[in-house]
Structure 1
Amino acid sequence: MNFLQIAPAVWQLSFPVGHVHVVRLPDGYALVDTGVPGSAPAVLDALERLGGRPRDLRQIVLTHSHVDHMGSAADLVAATGAALVAGALDAPFISGTAPEPQPVFTGPERVLREQVMAGSAEAGMPAAPPVPVDVELYDGGTLDGWAEPVRVLHVPGHTPGSIALHLPASGVLFPGDTIATVGDRAVLGPFNVDRKEAVASFRRLAALEVETVCVPHGQPLTRDAGAVLRAAAPEGDWV
């Protein structure tokens, strides 16, 4: 597990599958995503390393409903009392009131998925327990309690209710799985329910003014992030 500061108020906690981001608030902390099931102790340990206690976690933002993002949400809500917020269209999948739609795989994505699933099976990864969503987010919404304005963007394609968070004042972007990185390149995140929508969402995010992109998979973009996004060619990824 690697714990790295990537912006003045943002830390990246890396797991074998994906990253969790910890954000300092004026009166505590927020999380962006929660990792796979069983990640809660490591997340709470990271919070303690920053000087926080479980009760200091105010908010958990889920960018979407997949197990590597919501897997530890129920445990962390139970341990901290934090409010859980997520995109409105993914809320039924997170709360367990509707079945999650399945991705439509390209050929290369199917190979990658088989590799990921084999690794998950070997690790004995359990299913993510459902958890109620306290606040449902919509395009153009904001988040309360952060140190600067946070713009919520609905970025469908990876899942129907995927969201991104844009902090215009500091130029920080949390894109969810719409954007990943491979080396120093930004690529379209794989495993999308609607590839065309996902590419359009990628292009929408690439048009933003950003300095730091906190991707859930790959290395964060901390230099010339906007230029890296604009140079990307998501239409040609995973085909």
Structure 2
Amino acid sequence: MAHEKASVTTVAPGVIRIHRAAVNFYLVSSGDGLILIDTGLPGMWRGLLRALHEVGAAPEDIAAALLTHGHFDHVGLSDRLHGEHRVRSHVHPSDKELAQHPYRYRPQRPRVSAPLRHPRGIPILARMTAAGALWVEGTKAKADVAPGRAMDVPGRPVPVWSPGHTDGHCGFLLPDRGVLFSGDALVTLDPYTGRTGPRLVSRSATADAETNLLSLDALAVTDARLVLPGHGAPFEGGAREAVAAARRVGVD
């Protein structure tokens, strides 16, 4: 398999999407500094450096990394950022242990059955493996993400409580910009099935899909104009339409 480089794209004023192997994380620039929303996979390091170069910054200039949840494909650079550049990750208390041990979770359906049920997902999972998905070091994230209370970091993002995909999943809202980082509570590409469009992630990687469905209400009421998911393309139709579309699809 040819080496896949991360792509680096400005998706909103002050927001750069770093994408590789169907995984996204985001560099957010505000007047008071830089933050990350999630930290992707280990093989996305060069993409992060390119994104930082675009804003004239270096890894040590990042004030914090906010984790939507603790799965391996969202904490992949956290340990390196903390160990080499003293960048601390932050997570909801219910995902603190998962962030430290990002493979220790039990989805509703066995993960090994996903490729058999959905062969379109096999090439995506192979690309994720090539980007380091099987070799993620966990991180001792600070468990101070509190839903509804703006984080004391640049840009003042507000955590949006959206459990189900994991016990402590939170999206992050930039209220002044109308931008919602939905993490894996709502995606536009499910890596496990290969299906696109607003939807939930398959039960093969979700702890409680029914709770996840209920959590969509919290995403909808943000009235964000732009939804930036953990997997898939940005959704420009707004949070309410993204939620409506995901509900129409249902859960695999």
Match of 1:145 in 2: 153
Match of 2:3 in 1: none
Task: State how far apart, in whole Å, the 2-side matches of 1:123 and 1:2 are.
Answer: 13
- Cα distance, 1:227 vs. partner? 4.5
Residues 37 and 210 from structure 1, CA distance in 2 versus in 1: closer, same or farther, beyond 3 angstroms?
Answer: same
Task: State how far apart, in whole Å, the 2-side matches of 1:124 and 1:215 are.
Answer: 20
RMSD value over aligned CA atoms? 2.7
Q: Which moved more, 1:179-188 or 1:190-199?
A: 179-188
- Cα distance, 1:230 vs. partner? 4.5
TM-score, normalised relative to structure 1: 0.86
Pick aligned residue for 2:234 from 183, 197, 220: 220
Residues 45 and 232 from structure 1, CA distance in 2 versus in 1: closer, same or farther, beyond 3 angstroms?
Answer: same
Matches within 5 A, 1:92-171: 92-96=97-101, 100-105=104-109, 109=114, 111-112=117-118, 115=122, 116-121=124-129, 125-147=133-155, 149-171=156-178
TM-score, normalised relative to structure 2: 0.82
Task: State how far apart, in whole Å, the 2-side matches of 1:120 and 1:172 are.
Answer: 26
Matches within 5 A, 1:197-208: 197-208=211-222
Residues 92 and 4 from structure 1, CA distance in 2 versus in 1: closer, same or farther, beyond 3 angstroms?
Answer: same
Matches within 5 A, 1:6-21: 6-21=11-26
- Cα distance, 1:135 vs. partner? 4.2
- Cα distance, 1:5 vs. partner? 1.0
Amino acid in structure 2 at the alignment position of 1:138: A
Aligned sequence identity (%):
25
> Is 1:81 the equivalent of 2:86?
yes
Task: State how far apart, in whole Å, the 2-side matches of 1:136 and 1:100 are.
Answer: 21
Task: State how far apart, in whole Å, the 2-side matches of 1:16 and 1:119 are.
Answer: 5
- Cα distance, 1:193 vs. partner? 0.4
Amino acid in structure 1 at the alignment position of 2:247: P
Residues 184 and 193 from structure 1, CA distance in 2 versus in 1: closer, same or farther, beyond 3 angstroms?
Answer: closer
Amino acid in structure 1 at the alignment position of 2:201: G
Q: Secondary structure at the match of 1:64?
A: coil
Match of 2:192 in 1: none
Task: State how far apart, in whole Å, the 2-side matches of 1:199 and 1:228 are.
Answer: 14
| 1:25 and 1:145 in contact (8 A); partners too | no
| Structure 1: runs of 5 or more not aligned | none
> Is 1:66 the equivalent of 2:80?
no
Residues 70 and 124 from structure 1, CA distance in 2 versus in 1: closer, same or farther, beyond 3 angstroms?
Answer: closer
1:163-212 per-residue CA deviation (whole Å, 9 max, x = no partner) reads: 11112222110111011115984212222100110101123212321111
> Is 1:187 the equivalent of 2:187?
no
Task: State how far apart, in whole Å, the 1-side matches of 2:73 and 2:221 are.
Answer: 27
| Structure 2: runs of 5 or more not aligned | 1-5, 190-194
Task: State how far apart, in whole Å, the 2-side matches of 1:76 and 1:54 are.
Answer: 7
Q: Which moved more, 1:51-60 or 1:36-45?
A: 36-45
Match of 1:175 in 2: 182
Q: Secondary structure at the match of 2:91?
A: strand
Pick aligned residue for 2:225 from 205, 211, 214: 211
Match of 1:34 in 2: 39
Amino acid in structure 1 at the alignment position of 2:250: D
Pick aligned residue for 2:244 from 222, 231, 236: 231
1:44-83 per-residue CA deviation (whole Å, 9 max, x = no partner) reads: 2321222102221111111111111111210122232112
- Cα distance, 1:215 vs. partner? 0.9
Residues 7 and 73 from structure 1, CA distance in 2 versus in 1: closer, same or farther, beyond 3 angstroms?
Answer: same
